[in-house]
């Protein structure tokens, strides 16, 4: 097992809120970080901040807008080309409850693409590198807010509901967690999902909901899944903060997961890794 200073960790959505707090924590522990964001100015600022406040200069920034499948794919290409190992992938990037329906650049419902399809693509494309780096981990930052996917209207074109859009994408993340756990069994790569904390005061919460938890609380729960040695062999779990819990029933339904896999592959051109 690699030491802390040898760990390479990719955090998506690292320039704000929970991702930024996690970057500070992990940089302070000496990890080499690949920090993703869609604002180059914020990325440059974060790198300087980490160097100044933690003394860690082993971080890099990768620009990608997850409203574009092409940019998600290009991010995976760059990580594979530039890094010989990847110890942890943290799928943290996401948007919250939108008040109006938005299409991605690819014509897909934006929340489903940013919160779920990006995690699907990166996890599947980077799986071989994670396997070569094993023991390794995938951590999916989901939510206790989950809802079954209506496969007859996944893009919510007939009936828009921002809460449904967010909650079905978060359930899809847990479904992905279960599928990847089965596919990566025996490779040394674990996959877990969590609800980090409720209504942290991040930009997706403030103005719509009353904050109930701190960003620090959520960060600690994510960091635990990233670094805790006691979780080295724990996989396929959904955690509510720091406790094992049960996600929405559809996430464990084999038929529903098969439909989601087929849909995800058809939309992105990326299939689950042929490993295990």
User: What digits encode the pLDDT tens for the residues 137-146?
Assistant: 999 999 999 9
What is the model's pLDDT at position 252? 98
> Residue 36's beta-bridge partner residues?
62
In percent, the amount of the chain with pLDDT more than 90 equals: 87
Compute φ and ψ for 209, nearest 5 degrees: -135, 160
DSSP string, 239-261: EETTEEE---GGGG-HHHHHHHH
Model confidence at 202: pLDDT above 70 = no
For 217-227, letters b (16+ CB in 10 Å) and e give bbbbbbbbbbb
Cis status, amide bond into 139, omega within 30 of 0: no
Domains annotated on the chain, with CATH: 4-268 (3.40.50.720)
Hey, is 219 helix, strand or coil? helix
Q: Is it the case that residue 212 has pLDDT exceeding 60?
A: no
Phi then psi for residue 265, to 5 deg, are: -65, -40
Q: How far is CA 175 from each of CA 107, 150, 163, 210, 228, rounded to the nearest angstrom?
A: 23, 14, 18, 28, 23
- Burial per residue of 181-191, b for 16 or more beta-carbon CB atoms within 10 angstroms, e otherwise: bebbeebbbbb
The Cα–Cα gap between 271 and 264 comes to 8
As a whole number of Å, the end-to-end CA separation of the chain is 20
Which residue shows structure tokens 């098969």? 258
**Burial 77-102, CB ≥16 within 10 A → b, else e:** eebeeebeebbbbbbbbbbbbbeebb
* pLDDT at residue 276 is higher than 50: no
Using DSSP bridges, classify how beta strands 8-11 and 32-37 pair: parallel, antiparallel or unpaired: parallel
Residues 146-161 have pLDDT tens digits of 999 999 999 999 999 9
| Confidence at residue 197, expressed as pLDDT on a 0 to 100 scale | 60
40-44, 93-97, 163-167: the lowest-pLDDT one: 93-97
3-class secondary structure, 162: helix
**Using an 8 Å Cβ cutoff, are 86 and 130 in contact?**
yes
CB 13 within 8 A of CB 93: yes
Cβ 138 vs Cβ 189: under 8 Å? yes
pLDDT of residue 175: 98
**165 pLDDT more than 60:** yes
Q: pTM of this prediction?
A: 0.94
DSSP letter at 201 equals: S
Q: Is 116 helix (H, G, I), strand (E, B) or coil?
A: helix
Q: What is the 3-state secondary structure (H, E, C) of 66-110?
A: CCCHHHHHHHHHHHHHHCCCCCEEEECCCCCCCCCCCECCCCCEH
Closest CA to 142 of 189, 175, 104: 175
């Amino acid at each position: 097992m690699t030491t802390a200073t040898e760990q390479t960790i990719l955090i998506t959505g690292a320039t704000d809120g929970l991702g930024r707090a996690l970057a500070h924590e992990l940089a302070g522990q000496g990890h080499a970080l690949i920090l993703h964001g869609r604002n180059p100015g914020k990325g440059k600022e974060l790198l300087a901040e980490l160097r100044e406040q933690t003394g860690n200069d082993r971080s890099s920034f990768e620009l990608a807008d997850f409203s574009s499948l092409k940019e998600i794919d290009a991010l995976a290409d760059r990580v594979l080309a530039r890094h010989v190992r990847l110890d942890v992938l943290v799928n943290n990037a996401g948007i919250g409850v939108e008040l109006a329906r938005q299409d991605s650049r690819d014509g897909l419902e934006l929340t489903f693409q940013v919160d779920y399809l990006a995690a699907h693509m990166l996890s599947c494309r980077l799986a071989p590198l994670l396997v070569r780096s094993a023991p390794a981990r995938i951590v999916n930052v989901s939510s206790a807010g989950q809802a079954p996917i209506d496969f007859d209207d996944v893009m919510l074109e007939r009936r828009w509901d921002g809460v449904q859009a967010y909650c079905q994408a978060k359930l899809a993340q847990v479904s992905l967690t279960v599928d990847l756990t089965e596919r990566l069994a025996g490779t040394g790569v674990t996959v877990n999902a969590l609800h980090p904390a409720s209504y942290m005061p991040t930009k997706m919460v403030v103005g719509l909901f009353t904050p109930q938890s701190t960003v620090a609380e959520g960060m600690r729960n994510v960091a635990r899944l990233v670094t805790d040695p006691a979780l080295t062999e724990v996989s396929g779990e959904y955690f509510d903060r720091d406790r094992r819990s049960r996600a929405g029933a559809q996430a464990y339904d084999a038929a529903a997961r098969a439909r989601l896999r087929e849909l995800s592959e058809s939309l992105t051109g990326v299939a689950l890794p042929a490993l295990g």
